[in-house]
Amino acid sequence: MSVYEKFGFPEVTAEAAKGMGLSASEFEGVKKLLGRMPNYIELGVISSMYSEHCSYKSSRMHLAKFPTTAPWVVQGPGENAGIIEVDSEGLCVCFKVESHNHPSFIEPFQGAATGVGGILRDVFTMGARPVAAMNSLRFGKLDKPKNRQIFEGVVAGISHYGNCFGVPTVGGEVYFNSCYDGNPLVNAFALGVVQKENIYLAKAEGLGNPVIYVGAKTGRDGIHGATMASEEFNENSESKRPNVQIGDPFKEKLLLEACLELMKTDYIVGIQDMGAAGLTSSSFEMASKSGSGVRLDLDMVPMREKGMNPYEIMLSESQERMLMVAKKGYEDKVKAIFDKWDLDAVVIGEVTNDGYVRLFWDGEEVAALEAAPLADEAPKYNRPYARGEYMDELQRLPKVDAPSNLQKVLEDLLANETIASKRWVWNQYDHMVRVGTVQLPGSDAAVIRLNESEKGIAISSDCNSRFCLLNPYEGGKAAIAESARNVAVSGARPRAFTNCLNFGNPEKPDIMWQFVSAVEGMAEAAKVLETPAISGNVSLYNETEGKPIYPTPTIVMVGVFDDVTKRIGSYFTSMESAVYLIGENTGYIGGSEYLAAVHGYERGDAPEVDLEREKNIIDFMCDAADKRLVKAAHDVSEGGLAVALCEMCFGGDNVGVNVKLESGIRADALLFGENHGRVILEIDVNNAQVVTALAEKYNLPISKIGRTCSGLIEIANKSEKVISAKVSDLEKIWKNSIGDRMK
C-alpha cells in the first residue's frame, strides 16, 4: 500500500470538487490542465487557489483599471503589501487593508483578532515594522442585540490582538446600517516602516536552498477558510465556526521580533506569510514568482495535534506562521535566532528548478502540481454586468417636508450611531504605544511621526456605502476623494491608497455592475488626484440569505508630511478665530444621513464629485499647512455642515461657534445636505486676507461664515436663528451615544 493510499482519502469526483467550491467547468479545466485526474490532496490545493479569495477570478480584469504607478511608488500590487517612499533618503512605508468579514460574522472576537494578525504579518513579511493599525468596520444598527454582540466582539478582538502585539490602533471608521445585519464588515489595515534597501519579497530562489517553516505549529483550524470566504451565508454558516482561526498575539509579537532580527542578517532569500490557504498559497506563490520549484516534506511540519494528514496540513490556516527560503548552510544561524525567541524553525523542504511544487510524506511523493499555472493562470471571468432595474426608483429623490424643529434634528443626528463619537471603540485600543501618535483619534486623519523624526504620515479610511448603492460610479469617486480630502485637511499630501472591495455575489449582473462602476469611479478619481492603488483585496459574496450588503469599497489613503509639526487638527483651538468655508453649500440631500435617519429614505442619486475641485482643495490645504495658516480644519461629510461645525467644537475645550449664513436654500437642506468639496477652516483673524487670496489662487470659492466663541453653538440663516445650543449639551449627546447603547 502506498503512503497516499494509507490516508484513505475519499474518491475524487465532480461532487467532491463541488464540495470544495470548484464548479463543474472549473473541475473540467483542472483535469485538462493536468492532463489527468488530480488526487484528493491536489484537489484541495487547487480549489483553494481557485477560490475567489485567492484568485480574484471575478475581479482581476477590472482591478487592472486602477493606476498603480507614480515616482514615489516602490512596490505596487502583487506582493504582501504595497510600499511608497516618504523621503529622498529611502524612508518608506508599507501598507495594506484586508477583509476578514466572513470569519468575523461567525466568531466576532477571533475573526476580528486574526484579521488584525493577518494584516500585521503582511506588513512585517516585507521587512517593515508595523507602527500603525486602523480598521474600517460596518455593523447592523445597534437596536438589535445580535448586532451589539457582534460589535462588542469585533472591537474586543481587535483590542486584544493589537494591544498585546504592541501596534497602536490609531483610528478608522465605524458605520451602522441595516444592510450589514447578517454580514458585518471587518477591514483591517496596517502600516509599517522600512528602509528601501531592506525590503524583503516573497522569493524562492537558489537551487537547493532550504525552505524553513517558522512560528506556531499547524493545527486543524481554518481548513478551507479561503473557500468559506468565497460563499454566501445561510442558516448553516454558524456550523462553520471551526473554519475560523484562533489568534495568539503574543506568538505574533515573537514572530515579528525574530523575523526583523533575521532580516538584519543576510541569511535569507525570501519570506512569505501563511495567510489565506496557508502553506498552499505561500509555497505556490513563492515558487511561481521565482520560476523555480519547491519540494516540501510535509511530515516535517510542526503539528499541534497527532494524526494530521497532508491535505489538512496544506489547507490549515493556523495563525502566526511564516515560510522562508534561507541560504544553504545558514540553517543553524536562522534557528539560533528563532531559539532566542522560543519559536519553532524547521527545515521542511528545498528549492528545486522544475517548476513544480512536490509534496512528500515519509519520503514518498503524494502530490505534484506545476506552480505557475495555478498561481498565475487561475480562472479569470468577465462576468456579465448590468444596471439593476431598481436603480431608477432608488435614484429618484423623494420630496420631504422641512421639520419644524431643526435643533431636535441636529441632536438626533449627533446621537445617530454612524455620526456619534467612536470614543467607546478607540478607548479600547491602545492608540499611543510606540510614541508616534501625534494626533489622537477623532480627527479627520490619524497622524503618526516616523522613527521619532519630524517626518510623518496621515491616514484616513473612508467609504460612504450609501452613496455607492445609489450611484456606484460617483460613490467610488467619493470614497477616493473623501479619503484624500481628509488626509489633506490634516496637512499631509495624499500619496497612495489601499482598498478593500466588499461587494455581494458577483454572479448576479446587478452586483457585478456595482463592482465595475465603483472600480471605474475610483480609478478615475485616483488618476486625477494622483494617488495610485498600491495594494488591496476583494471580498465578494457578502450576502446573507440572498440579501447583499451595500457596495462598500473601503479606501485607506496615506499621505506624507515633511514636517509633522505642521499637522492640522479638526477641533477649534481658540476663541475669536474666523471661521471660513471652502466650497459651496448646494443643499443637495440625496443619499444623506439626514434623509435616511429623519425621513427614512435611502434614496436619491449620490452627490456628484467634482474632481478638479477636489484636487484644488488638496493643493490648497497642503500649501496652507506648509505656511502654518490654518488653526483647525474639518471636511463636511455625514450630517452635513451643521454636524461638521458641531464636531469642531467637541475637542473638550468648550470652544463654540457663531455662524451666520446668507443662503436661499431651505434650512434643513442647507444644514444637513452632504454635497462634496467642502472644508471648514479656523483661521487667525490676522491671516484672513492671506488665506482668502490663497484659496482664490487655487480657484476655490471661500466665504467667511462666522467666528469661534465661548461655549455656544449658534447657526443663523439670513438673520433667522436655526440652532442655538450649549456646546456641552450637544457634546454630551454625541460623546455618550454609543457607550450608552452598549451598556
Partner 1 sequence: MKAGVVVFPGSNCDHDCYHVLKHVIGAETVFLWHKDTDLQGVDLVVFPGGFSYGDYLRCGAIAKFSPIVSEVIKFAENGGHVLGICNGFQVLTESGLLPGALMRNRGLKFKCEYVNLRVDNSDTPYTNMYADGEVIRIPIAHADGNYYIDEEGMKELEENKQIVFRYCDENGTAEDDSNPNGSLGNIAGIINKKGNVLGMMPHPERCAEGVMETRDGYFLFESIAKFIGGCK
Cβ atoms of 206 and 269 closer than 8 Å: yes
Least separation in angstroms between CB 243 and partner 1: 24
Least separation in angstroms between CB 428 and partner 1: 5
Judged by DSSP in three states, 368 sits in strand
All three cell numbers of 676, joined, read 462634496
Cell 466572513, located at residue: 102
Report the DSSP beta bridge partners of residue 272.
Answer: 323
In whole angstroms, give the CA distance from residue 147 to residue 155.
Answer: 12
Rule CB under 8 A: is residue 615 a binding residue for partner 1? no
Residues between 129 and 188 with contacts to partner 1, criterion CB under 8 A: 156, 159-160, 163-166
Of these, 72, 189, 429, 572, which contacts partner 1 (CB under 8 A)? 429
Size of the site for partner 1 (CB under 8 A): 32
Give helix 108-124 / helix 249-263 axis angle, nearest 10°: 0
In whole angstroms, give the CA distance from residue 122 to residue 610.
Answer: 35
All three cell numbers of 294, joined, read 519547491
Closer by beta carbon to partner 1, 456 or else 590? 456
Measure the CA dihedral 22/26/31/35, to 10°.
-140
Least separation in angstroms between CB 423 and partner 1: 8
Rule CB under 8 A: is residue 433 a binding residue for partner 1? yes
Rule CB under 8 A: is residue 431 a binding residue for partner 1? yes
Closer by beta carbon to partner 1, 424 or else 467? 424
DSSP 8-state symbol, 610: -
- CA of 550: how far to CAs of 139, 183, 235, 629, 650, in Å? 12, 10, 21, 39, 31
Judged by DSSP in three states, 323 sits in strand
Of these, 89, 452, 664, 720, which contacts partner 1 (CB under 8 A)? 452
Closer by beta carbon to partner 1, 353 or else 451? 451
Strands (DSSP E) found in 400-551: 437-439, 446-449, 456-462, 493-502, 533-539, 543-544, 547-548
Closer by beta carbon to partner 1, 321 or else 449? 449
Rule CB under 8 A: is residue 564 a binding residue for partner 1? yes
Closer by beta carbon to partner 1, 103 or else 651? 651
Least separation in angstroms between CB 355 and partner 1: 40
Chain length of the chain? 743
Judged by DSSP in three states, 186 sits in strand
Cβ atoms of 116 and 188 closer than 8 Å: yes
Strands (DSSP E) found in 109-238: 129-139, 169-176, 185-195, 210-215
| From 106-114, 116-124, 231-239, 433-441, span contacting partner 1 (CB under 8 A) | 433-441
| From 267-275, 369-377, 426-434, 675-683, span contacting partner 1 (CB under 8 A) | 426-434
Of these, 427, 574, 710, 724, which contacts partner 1 (CB under 8 A)? 427
Of these, 434, 660, 704, 735, which contacts partner 1 (CB under 8 A)? 434
Residues between 242 and 271 with contacts to partner 1, criterion CB under 8 A: 248-251, 253-254, 257
The site string for partner 1 over 316-345 (x = CB under 8 A, - otherwise) reads -------------------------xx---
Sheet holding 82-85, edge to edge: 73-75, 82-85, 91-99, 185-195, 129-139, 169-176
Closer by beta carbon to partner 1, 281 or else 421? 421
Closer by beta carbon to partner 1, 115 or else 521? 115
Least separation in angstroms between CB 123 and partner 1: 16
Of these, 66, 267, 426, 734, which contacts partner 1 (CB under 8 A)? 426
Active-site residue among 62, 100, 102, 431?
100
Of these, 16, 400, 438, 629, which contacts partner 1 (CB under 8 A)? 438
Give helix 509-528 / helix 611-626 axis angle, nearest 10°: 40
The site string for partner 1 over 340-359 (x = CB under 8 A, - otherwise) reads -xx-----------------
Least separation in angstroms between CB 142 and partner 1: 17
All three cell numbers of 361, joined, read 510524506
Give helix 406-415 / helix 727-741 axis angle, nearest 10°: 40
Sheet holding 344-352, edge to edge: 268-273, 321-326, 210-215, 344-352, 293-297, 356-361, 364-370
| From 385-393, 428-436, 485-493, 575-583, span contacting partner 1 (CB under 8 A) | 428-436
| From 319-327, 432-440, 621-629, 730-738, span contacting partner 1 (CB under 8 A) | 432-440
All three cell numbers of 690, joined, read 492671506
Closer by beta carbon to partner 1, 165 or else 588? 165
Least separation in angstroms between CB 244 and partner 1: 19
In whole angstroms, give the CA distance from residue 659 to residue 648.
Answer: 13
Least separation in angstroms between CB 192 and partner 1: 14
In whole angstroms, give the CA distance from residue 170 to residue 131.
Answer: 10
The site string for partner 1 over 474-513 (x = CB under 8 A, - otherwise) reads ----------------------------------------
Closer by beta carbon to partner 1, 69 or else 427? 427
All three cell numbers of 370, joined, read 506545476
Rule CB under 8 A: is residue 613 a binding residue for partner 1? no
Least separation in angstroms between CB 121 and partner 1: 17
In whole angstroms, give the CA distance from residue 531 to residue 82.
Answer: 13
Least separation in angstroms between CB 628 and partner 1: 15
634 is catalytic: no
Binding site for partner 1 (CB under 8 A): 156, 159-160, 163-166, 248-251, 253-254, 257, 341-342, 426-435, 438, 440, 449, 452, 564-565
Q: Which residues are catalytic?
A: 53, 100
